[in-house]
């Protein structure tokens, strides 16, 4: 079971690191890649369209400003896609939030808060825990740990 954690630019790695770290905590492999919806659209399409056959279960896509990465992925797969709008630019992430959340009917992208890559990973874990009792138990433990802080 693996999740593709994609980001539009090398400079996004620090903001997207919590996604990979959170997935690892729950024993889920994170395939972390830099792919741009604008600079490498053919690579994005190839990965997204073959992901199910390659054993992926979901995508987490982080991008800033125009933030088309999550939508470009969602257009090519039926796997769940969680978009992470990233801060930066003149609007400090608000533009990315609007770009990520405003998808056309039929091509959904779940969207978390600006720079919310940890929550994106937790959302994927929650989806997987629907049919995986060990993940459900690990999530319950995680919630108890949060409550104890």
- Position of tokens 């659209």? 41
- Position of tokens 């969602």? 74
Instruction: Answer yes or no: is pLDDT of 149 > 90.
Output: no
pLDDT digits 0-9 by tens, 62-92: 999 999 999 999 999 999 999 999 999 889 9
60 with 6: CB under 8 angstroms?
yes
pLDDT at position 86 is 98
Q: Which two tokens stand for residue 128?
A: 């997987």
* Chain mean pLDDT for the chain: 97
Please name the helix (run of DSSP H) or strand (run of DSSP E) that holds residue 6, with its range, or none.
strand 2-7
At 5, is the secondary structure helix, strand, or coil? strand
Q: What residue ranges define each of the domains in the chain, with the CATH number in brackets?
A: 2-148 (3.40.50.1970)
Distance of alpha carbon 62 from alpha carbon 1, whole angstroms: 20
pLDDT digits 0-9 by tens, 100-136: 999 999 999 999 999 999 999 999 999 999 999 999 9
Q: How far is CA 103 from the centre of its chain?
A: 15
């Amino acid at each position: 079971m693996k999740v593709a954690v994609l980001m539009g630019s090398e400079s996004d790695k620090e903001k997207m690191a919590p996604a990979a770290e959170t997935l690892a905590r729950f024993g889920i492999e994170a395939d972390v890649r830099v792919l741009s919806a604008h600079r490498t659209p053919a690579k994005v399409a190839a990965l997204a369209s073959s992901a199910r056959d390659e054993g992926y279960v979901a995508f987490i896509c982080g991008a800033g400003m125009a933030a088309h990465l999550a939508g470009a992925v969602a257009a090519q797969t039926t796997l769940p896609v969680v978009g992470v709008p990233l801060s930066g630019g003149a609007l400090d992430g608000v533009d990315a939030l609007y770009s990520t959340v405003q998808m056309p009917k039929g091509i959904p992208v779940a969207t978390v808060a600006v720079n919310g890559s940890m929550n994106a990973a937790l959302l994927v874990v929650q989806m997987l825990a629907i049919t995986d009792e060990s993940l459900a138990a690990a999530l319950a433990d995680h919630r108890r740990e949060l409550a104890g802080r």
